[in-house]
Amino acid sequence: MTKPLLRSLAGETLPVPPIWMMRQAGRYLPEYKATRAEAGDFLSLCYNPDLATEVTLQPIRRFGFDAAILFADILLVPQALGADLWFVTGEGPRLSTVTSRADFDRLKPAADVHETLAPVYQTVRNLAGALPPEVALIGFAGAPWTVATYMIAGQGTPDQGPAHALKAEDRATFEALIDRLTEATIEYLSAQIEAGAEVVKLFDSWAGSLRGEDFARYAVAPAKAIVAALKARHPDVPVVTFPREAGEGYIGFHAATGADCVAVDDSVDAEWVADHVQPAGCVQGNLASRHMVSGGEALVSEVRRIRDALSGGPHIFNLGHGITPDADPGNVALMIETLREAS
């Protein structure tokens, strides 16, 4: 196994950790903006295998990352289940809502998502044949709780309030939606693996708004079910989980879910992660995204600090969340150069 990312995911501690970056194909790159303009709109880009392949490859060509992550969106799954999905320029996604049993009953079965998502699988096949031999290919999906928050509210919300309200007021419908999304996510990620993804990642961007028993039931349990099903079908494919802003919930997340790697956000210190999370397995993270905007000596020192703090175990270097559109590509290059410098 020669790809550095796969070596780290297998539990190996490398002298220089592999690096990729959440949202590495995106709006901070001029070449991405040009391709997006060619596609016409965001969803057309996601569903055009040739153009989605191109934008996935752009940061690999420019920066030499150790992994490429499929260009897609977490809300393609609800669309494949029958929800209406569109994007409002400058504001983000909008969906038809699921707030009642009648709304839920209009959704398609999980096994029926593949027709809509077939272009995504073609993008994976394209990438599997186009990437340099040392670069790993990551597939991904949104975790059920995070995707459900968008489906219930019809858009992103600051506190996921509508989802918490449905959970309190109509638990049966809420749990039916979580279960449907869990099944659909298994189908979607399994198909990505069959198309050529070597690793898959589960993004639970809003896990931090779940507390106590809710965190166990709606962040941990769905991740455990998805990991178990994928391992049964594809035992050699590693799974990365990202319960963002889980705080103390990061402790034990490897064991509780069966994940090969737990990604951590930048609200926790790398030194804390080394003590409390990394002993259980590979960790990924966790440079604050703001350093991709501001750069300078603060960026250099933070990269070195995180690298050194997590050097005692398997580590994949990444941001604590996605890179932002106002980031400077020169700072991305500086991050990689600093990480790979002779220590």
Point out the residues that are catalytic: 23, 27, 36, 73, 150
CA within 13 Å, CB half, 174: 17
- Where does 155-268 show beta strands of DSSP type E? 199-204, 239-243, 261-263
Looking at residue 170, its amino acid is D
For the chain, what is the total number of helices (H) and then of strands (E)?
17, 9
| Residue 5 neighbours by CB under 8 Å, 6+ apart | 18, 20, 66, 67, 136, 199, 316
CB 70 within 8 A of CB 137: yes
Cβ neighbour number for residue 330 with a 10 Å cutoff: 10
CB 78 within 8 A of CB 95: yes
Backbone angles phi, psi at 46, to 5 degrees: -60, -35
